[in-house]
């Protein structure tokens, strides 16, 4: 049967030559640019959390149902811009302290536009040499700036979650291969069990990565000190319970307190037993670039794998996490791939460094920030935000009824509110709600040591001392209003 015979007789041939509407870039990108500037110029002065309801957003976007006929591209951008302006948090602004969410530097946003416009599939060198080489240079700079072992390999993932998956896949491969087990071919059916030991205050993404890897979440938990760093003697006791080489997950930057585990001592203990140390440095790995704060992570370079997020403290737009592995062969064996149709090269084929197949060139904004700020500039950003954390902690703790719960080491501050005759947990939650409604700054709550806390995380390159002062006064005002029983003001917007 010829190709023509296989075509159905009524297959449309005449429409295949007419262009799709809306292929002109100029007007559309000019419009997008105007919307972008309007958003970014307003972001410092807006209420940090929007006042819109989800119904209002839905009404704006659905407009009666799935469109049968199309609309012009400009009006589509206008609708999106309106929804975005009404319903986005000002997390790119200077007074967003919720979760751990960085802003994005202008050069990173600009570089991200280039990534979108180039529209390269960052999977193989043969799909686009430029983004492969940018990623290679970026990985090399990062390894040097962070002081990791020179042979360390790196992969750029959506975030630390998938970076942890990548690193722990490499760990699983490495430890099982040493025991003669091929996890990639045989899976884990009948494999020797790898003991996995974690701090009790690890981030939940570690458990999720272990789940995805078939290693399960029945891990050995080790207790922590008062600031949430792993207790070394408890770790030693736990490791003495088994003679199998373990995976031990520690962290540089506790999600609540910012505490850093004693990395040098952990690495020595674990390596004595032939194990693998993984460092979750989503927040704190960046302190390695700082002359002032590097000592917090003493011994970090001794570990076997590390993760961090560029979309947090490096201030690149979402999304970008990074997996670093000191055993490049294990890294590649765990996540790499070959297929007949893939043109492999002697260059960096990005597909061999992360679990994704096709993906955007998310290392490009990272390169842009590293080149523009330099190591010293990145260190300056880290140092400044840590200073801000101390500043806000000092100001808040001068107020009666406000207590700083953690020892501030990085950019995380935990706050607790007390008043005679009030339940502290309930009061703390009420004040978090009042601050969120007030709109000067935004932060979220957490539970630490079984008590409700307000959690402040400072990761923005835009935050100034004045923003810290304004935010501290807003928090203190809400605290005074709450303890005096004054009515809550409705959310501004
Ligand atoms: C944010 C965070 C993660 C998860 O990172 P994603 O980028 O959201 O995937 C893991 N660990 C810690 C300590 C974090 O702060």
Residues 206-248: pLDDT tens digits?
A: 999 999 999 999 999 999 999 999 999 999 999 999 889 999 9
160 CA to centre of ligand 1 in angstroms: 5
Residue 227 within a domain? yes
* pLDDT over threshold 60, residue 13: no
Say if residue 345 is in the same domain as residue 427. no
Say if residue 276 is in the same domain as residue 316. yes
Query: Could you tell me if the CB of 307 is within 6 A of ligand 1?
Result: no
Q: How confident is the model at residue 176 (pLDDT cuts 50, 70, 90)?
A: very high
What is the CATH classification number for the domain harbouring 414? Answer: 3.90.1150.170
Q: Please indicate whether residue 10 or residue 286 has the higher confidence score (pLDDT).
A: 286
Q: Whose CA is nearest to atom 14 of ligand 1?
A: 282
Mean pLDDT value across residues 445-469: 98
Q: Tell me the best of 91, 101, 159, 204 to mutate to test the pocket of ligand 1, counting ligand atoms within 8 Å of each CB and taking the most.
A: 159
34 CA to centre of ligand 1 in angstroms: 32
Residue 226 within a domain? yes
Report the domain count for the chain. 3
* pLDDT over threshold 80, residue 15: no
Q: What are the C-alpha distances in Å from 2 to residues 16, 175, 192, 291, 399? A: 21, 54, 55, 70, 84
251 CA to centre of ligand 1 in angstroms: 11
End of a domain among 371, 389, 414? Answer: 371
Query: Could you tell me if the CB of 203 is within 6 A of ligand 1?
Result: yes
Map residue 328 onto helix, strand or coil.
Answer: helix
* pLDDT over threshold 90, residue 490: no
* pLDDT over threshold 70, residue 10: no
Task: Give Cβ neighbours of residue 168 (< 8 Å, ≥ 6 apart).
Answer: 206, 209, 210, 213, 215, 247, 249, 278, 305
What pLDDT shows up at residue 21?
72
Say if residue 393 is in the same domain as residue 360. no
For residue 163, give the ligand 1 atom closest to its CA.
Answer: 9
What pLDDT shows up at residue 24?
85
**pLDDT cut 70: percent of the chain above it:** 95
Q: How would you list the strands of the sheet with 444-448, edge to edge?
A: 402-404, 412-417, 451-457, 444-448
- Per DSSP, what are the bridge partners of residue 452? 447
What pLDDT shows up at residue 314?
98
Closest by Cα among 35, 11, 14, 31 to 22 = 31
Q: Mean pLDDT in the chain?
A: 95
Say if residue 324 is in the same domain as residue 297. yes
Q: Whose CA is nearest to atom 1 of ligand 1?
A: 282
29 CA to centre of ligand 1 in angstroms: 33
Residue 216 within a domain? yes
Q: How confident is the model at residue 493 (pLDDT cuts 50, 70, 90)?
A: very low
Task: Give Cβ neighbours of residue 408 (< 8 Å, ≥ 6 apart).
Answer: 258, 389, 390, 393
Phi, psi angles (nearest 5°) of residue 307: -125, 155
* pLDDT over threshold 90, residue 16: no
Query: Could you tell me if the CB of 101 is within 6 A of ligand 1?
Result: no
Query: Could you tell me if the CB of 205 is within 6 A of ligand 1?
Result: yes
Residue 97 within a domain? no
Mean pLDDT value across residues 356-384: 98
Q: Whose CA is nearest to atom 2 of ligand 1?
A: 282
Residue 408 within a domain? yes
Please name the residue ranges forming H helices in 63-203.
73-87, 106-118, 129-146, 160-178, 183-186
Say if residue 265 is in the same domain as residue 193. yes
What pLDDT shows up at residue 465?
98
Instruction: For residue range 124-152, list pLDDT tens digits in order.
Output: 999 999 999 999 999 999 999 999 999 99
Query: The pTM is what?
Result: 0.95
Q: Tell me the best of 209, 283, 284 to mutate to test the pocket of ligand 1, counting ligand atoms within 8 Å of each CB and taking the most.
A: 283
Mean pLDDT value across residues 20-44: 92
Residue 5 within a domain? no
Say if residue 125 is in the same domain as residue 260. yes
Omega within 30 of 0 (cis) for the link into 319: yes
- Residue 202 DSSP symbol: -
Query: Could you tell me if the CB of 282 is within 6 A of ligand 1?
Result: yes
Say if residue 166 is in the same domain as residue 247. yes
Per-residue tokens: 387: 């200073």
Mean pLDDT value across residues 69-86: 95
Per-residue tokens: 40: 């970014």
Query: Could you tell me if the CB of 283 is within 6 A of ligand 1?
Result: yes
Query: Could you tell me if the CB of 201 is within 6 A of ligand 1?
Result: no
End of a domain among 371, 389, 416? Answer: 371
Say if residue 332 is in the same domain as residue 355. yes
279 CA to centre of ligand 1 in angstroms: 12
Q: How confident is the model at residue 2 (pLDDT cuts 50, 70, 90)?
A: low
Closest by Cα among 311, 267, 329, 388 to 100 = 311
Say if residue 217 is in the same domain as residue 324. yes
Q: Whose CA is nearest to atom 5 of ligand 1?
A: 160
Query: Could you tell me if the CB of 309 is within 6 A of ligand 1?
Result: yes
121, exposed or middle or buried, with CB in 10 Å at 0-12, 13-18, 19+? middle
Query: Could you tell me if the CB of 255 is within 6 A of ligand 1?
Result: yes
Q: How confident is the model at residue 489 (pLDDT cuts 50, 70, 90)?
A: confident
173 CA to centre of ligand 1 in angstroms: 23
Alpha carbon 17 to chain centroid distance? 45
Say if residue 358 is in the same domain as residue 389. no
Residue 74 within a domain? yes
Say if residue 57 is in the same domain as residue 184. no
DSSP 442-479: B-EEEEETTEEEEEEE---TT--HHHHHHHHHHHHHHH
Residue range of the domain that includes 82? 24-87
HEC profile of 403-420? EECCCCCCCEEEEEECCC
Mean pLDDT value across residues 49-69: 92
């Amino acid at each position: 049967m010829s190709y023509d015979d296989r075509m159905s007789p009524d297959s449309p041939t005449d429409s295949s030559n007419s262009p799709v509407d809306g292929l002109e870039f100029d007007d559309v990108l000019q419009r997008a640019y105007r919307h972008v500037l309007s958003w970014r110029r307003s972001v410092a002065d807006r209420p940090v959390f929007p006042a819109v309801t989800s119904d209002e957003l839905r009404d704006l976007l659905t407009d009666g149902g799935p469109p049968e006929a199309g609309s012009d591209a400009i009006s589509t951008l206008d609708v999106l811009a309106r929804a975005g302006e009404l319903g986005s948090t000002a997390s790119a602004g200077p007074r967003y302290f919720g979760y751990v969410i960085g802003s994005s530097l202008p050069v990173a946003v600009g570089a991200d536009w280039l990534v979108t416009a180039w529209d390269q599939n960052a999977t193989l060198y043969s799909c686009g040499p430029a983004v492969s080489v940018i990623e290679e240079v970026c990985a090399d700079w990062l390894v040097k700036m962070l002081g990791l072992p020179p042979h360390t390999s790196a992969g750029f993932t959506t975030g630390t979650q998938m970076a942890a998956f990548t690193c722990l896949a490499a760990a699983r491969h490495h430890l099982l291969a040493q025991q003669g087990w091929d996890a990639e071919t045989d899976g884990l059916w009948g494999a020797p069990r790898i003991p996995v030991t974690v701090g009790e205050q690890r981030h939940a993404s570690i458990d999720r990565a272990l789940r995805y890897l078939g290693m399960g979440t029945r891990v050995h938990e080790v207790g922590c000190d008062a600031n949430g760093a792993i207790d070394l003697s408890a770790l030693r006791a736990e490791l003495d319970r088994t003679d199998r080489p373990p995976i031990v997950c520690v962290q540089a930057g506790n999600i609540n307190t910012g505490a850093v585990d004693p990395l040098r001592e952990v690495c020595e203990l674990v390596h004595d037993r032939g194990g693998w140390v993984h460092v979750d440095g989503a927040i704190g790995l960046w302190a390695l670039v700082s002359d002032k704060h590097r000592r917090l992570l003493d011994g970090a370079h001794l570990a076997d794998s590390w993760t961090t997020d560029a979309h947090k403290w490096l201030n690149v737009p979402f999304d970008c996490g990074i997996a670093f592995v000191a055993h490049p062969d294990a890294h590649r064996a765990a996540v790499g791939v070959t297929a007949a149709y893939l043109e492999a090269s002697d260059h960096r084929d990005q597909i061999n460094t992360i679990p994704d197949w096709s993906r955007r060139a998310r290392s490009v904004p990272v390169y842009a920030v590293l080149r523009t700020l330099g190591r010293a500039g990145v260190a300056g950003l880290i140092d400044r935000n840590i200073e801000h954390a101390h500043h806000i902690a000092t100001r808040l703790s001068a107020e009666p009824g406000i207590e700083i719960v953690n020892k501030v080491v990085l950019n995380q501050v935990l706050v607790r509110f007390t008043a005679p005759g009030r339940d502290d947990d309930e009061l703390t939650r009420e004040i978090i709600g009042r601050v969120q409604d007030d709109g000067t700054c935004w932060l979220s709550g957490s539970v630490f040591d079984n008590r409700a806390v307000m959690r402040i995380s400072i990761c923005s390159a835009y935050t100034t001392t004045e923003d810290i002062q304004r935010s501290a006064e807003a928090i203190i005002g809400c605290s005074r209003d709450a303890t005096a029983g004054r009515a809550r003001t409705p959310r501004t917007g």
